[in-house]
Amino acid sequence: MLFREIRRWAETHAFLFAPGLVGVATLIFIPGRELLDKGHWSLLYLLVISIVASVAGSRPSFVAAVTAFLAWNVFFLPPYNTFKVDDPMDWISLGVFLVVGLLIGLTSGRLREREALAVSQEREMALLNKLTGRLLAIQGPLEMAEELGLEIEAVFSPRFIRLHIVDEAGNRTLLFGMKRELEMDPLEDDFLNWVFDKRKGVASPAAKSVNLHAGSPGGSGDILPHSSVFRAVSRSDVFLPILSSSGIEGILHIGERRSRKPYTWNEVQLLFASARMAGTFLERNRLDESARQAETLKEGDKLKSAIFSSVSHELKTPLSSLTATISDLLAGDMDWDPAHIRNELQSVKKDLDRLSHSIGSLLDLSRLAAEAWKPDLQWVEPGEVLGWVLFRLEAAERERVKVDLPEKQPLIRVDFQQWGRMLMHILENALSYSPSGSQVVIGAQNTGAGFETWIADEGPGIPDAEKEMVFETFFRGAYSTLLPGGTGLGLPIAREIARVHGGTIRIEDNAPGGTRFLIELPAANVMETGE
């Protein structure tokens, strides 16, 4: 830790550190001047130069070499404390010393730069690796922007990060803004527009030293300095287009570092590569989204054509018999007696009821499709809803229904009309799929785990294989051909209503025979009343 701090200090104050270290060494060396030969001291000075070179790099080590050259001359070559040299051979030693000292600086400085490069490359690799890994697991653009922002923040600590999404027309939406409280620069819009128009980045990196990415996207031509975009503008933030194969997806704007240290060319390239990755992600996400929409549309089309065929059947059948019956009654060639007319009108009424019922189901379905199916929840008494349902049945059918409700009922939280319509669909199903005159029992109780309503009939029952299928749209079961009416929509609608209430519907066999529908409403929607 201490070493690292010394090193950091040495790096930032290189030109103080180099002569300083030589000076300190000289002060230590002077008391022992007579212990070693003058030539040995030069070797020790070379050691000091090496340390400077390895810690602070080339140029400080040149300073150290010159300082050490002078110090060796003045303090260790007789006569002491002057630049004079007695022995002419010492001039040769001095010359060699200076050359070796400078060479040490040069070589170790290069080594050091290589090392720094290796470190930054490693850091880049790590960043890109991490990003790739995370982007694969990410769902949406916002999450992606947050990940990217966090990574950039961790590596570069900029003052802010903003990610704008752009559409084809160039309209921008700020998807993500880390530290967005920072004031927007008045020129920011101009830069963003420029980046969108030119599909190029803007950055003024400190040194364009080693261009690792020459030739790859984001090569030198793709990023221009601020001053070449707007004359005489000098800034250190970075604007990068988020490019994908289909064009520009967004713009990444990164503020200057909190340490004010300018970005290097390699760092800008790294940011560009990250932006590119974000671009690929955004493009993929966009394409996935449109593929999903196309899929939904296709599903919708399928549903529509299924509805269409069911509707044509359900509407045409009663319509044809209506047309036939009525045109026959109107035909002038017969003198119908009133009893016959009445009889025919009865069947007309039946057809009309069937039409009305089909249209009602279609209305339910269209609301369901329009996602307008949000229940308006209120606390109601189960009997209140049931009463509403029963009074909507034909008197003859109402006679068939036996109600088995306990005297004391809890309140349930449902949408009164929707819950009623759900019960109506199941009740009508039970009434029409069981022999006329047979009894249908509807009952309810609070089980503690929820509110349970059951509707049991004495019909033929539903085979296990079909117990789930009956809830599928337009499934009408094996005996549907034997029984009139039914769009095959009632039970799917009922299940959908139960679902939006957080409840379930399932089918059990009724003992001794028939079908028993069980509707469960979760306990959260049930409240026992006082008394």
Partner 1 sequence: MSWRPVSEHAVSAPERNTRILVIDDEESIRRALKSILSSRKYEVSLAANGAEGIDLAIETNPELIVLDLTLPDMDGTDVCRELRTWMTAPIIILSVRGNEHDKVSALDLGADDYLTKPFQAGELLARIRALLRRAESRIVQPPEIQAGELTINLARRQVSSKGGEVPLTKTEFEILALLVQNIDCVVTYRMLAEKLWADKEDRDPQLLRVHVSNLRKKIEPNPALPRFIHTEPGVGFRFTAE
Which residues contribute to the site for partner 1 (CB under 8 A)? 352, 356, 360, 363, 367, 376, 378-388, 390-391, 403, 405-407, 409, 416-417, 420
Judged by beta carbon, residue 240 or residue 498, the one nearer partner 1 is: 498
Of 213, 211, 191, 214, whose CA–CA distance to 201 is shortest?
A: 191
Judged by beta carbon, residue 222 or residue 415, the one nearer partner 1 is: 415
Judged by beta carbon, residue 443 or residue 460, the one nearer partner 1 is: 443
Give the C-alpha separation, 76 to 33, whole Å: 7
Judged by beta carbon, residue 133 or residue 387, the one nearer partner 1 is: 387
Q: Least CB distance from residue 198 to partner 1, whole Å? A: 53
Locate tokens 């503020």: which residue?
255
SS3 call for 173: strand
Q: Least CB distance from residue 356 to partner 1, whole Å? A: 5
Q: Least CB distance from residue 446 to partner 1, whole Å? A: 13
At 412, the amino acid letter reads I
Judged by beta carbon, residue 134 or residue 398, the one nearer partner 1 is: 398
Beta-carbon neighbour count of residue 426 at 10 Å?
28
Judged by beta carbon, residue 269 or residue 453, the one nearer partner 1 is: 453
Alpha-carbon distances, residue 262 vs 118, 203, 204, 259 (angstroms): 19, 10, 8, 9
Judged by beta carbon, residue 16 or residue 380, the one nearer partner 1 is: 380
Q: Least CB distance from residue 316 to partner 1, whole Å? A: 18
Rg of the Cα atoms in the chain: 43
Q: Least CB distance from residue 359 to partner 1, whole Å? A: 8
Residue ranges of E strands in 156-233: 161-166, 172-178, 201-202, 223-224
SS3 call for 318: helix
Q: 254-290: buried (b, 16+ CB within 10 Å) or exposed (e) per residue?
A: bbbbeeeeebbbbbbbbbbbbbbbbbbbbbebeeeee
Give the C-alpha separation, 179 to 47, whole Å: 48
Q: Least CB distance from residue 226 to partner 1, whole Å? A: 58
Q: Least CB distance from residue 486 to partner 1, whole Å? A: 19
